[in-house]
Amino acid sequence: MSTIITEEEKLNHPYYKLMELRGDLLETELNSWSRLDLIEWLCWNDRNGVYKDEDSLQEFGNIVSKEEAIEIISRQITQA
């Protein structure tokens, strides 16, 4: 079942708001988020990615650090 989100709802949702930021604003916002919040965003944005600790440990033998999560999110947003 597909859930349709309106443009107004997008403007009020923190995940969509994040996607509108660039440069220093994006970096500042990402640094204010916890590691777990960053991983949740990554899972939301890329359902096929391996970001959760359990999956990452099994697949790669390590977990995604906060710094790595920020780098990945920044790349995903700026290359979108």
Judge whether residue 1 has pLDDT over 70: no
Give the pair of three-digit tokens for residue 10. Answer: 């997008």
Instruction: Report the distance separating Cα 80 and Cα 71, nearest Å.
Output: 14
Give the pair of three-digit tokens for residue 46. Answer: 């890329």
What is the residue-averaged pLDDT of the chain? 93
What's the burial of 35, exposed, middle or buried (CB within 10 Å: 0-12/13-18/19+)?
Answer: middle
Q: What is the separation, in whole angstroms, between the first and last Cα of the chain?
A: 25
Contact call for residues 74 and 30 (beta carbons, < 8 A): yes
Under the banding of pLDDT at 50, 70 and 90, the label for residue 11 is confident
pTM as predicted: 0.86
Tens digits of per-residue pLDDT, 29-71? 999 999 999 999 999 999 999 999 999 999 999 999 999 999 9
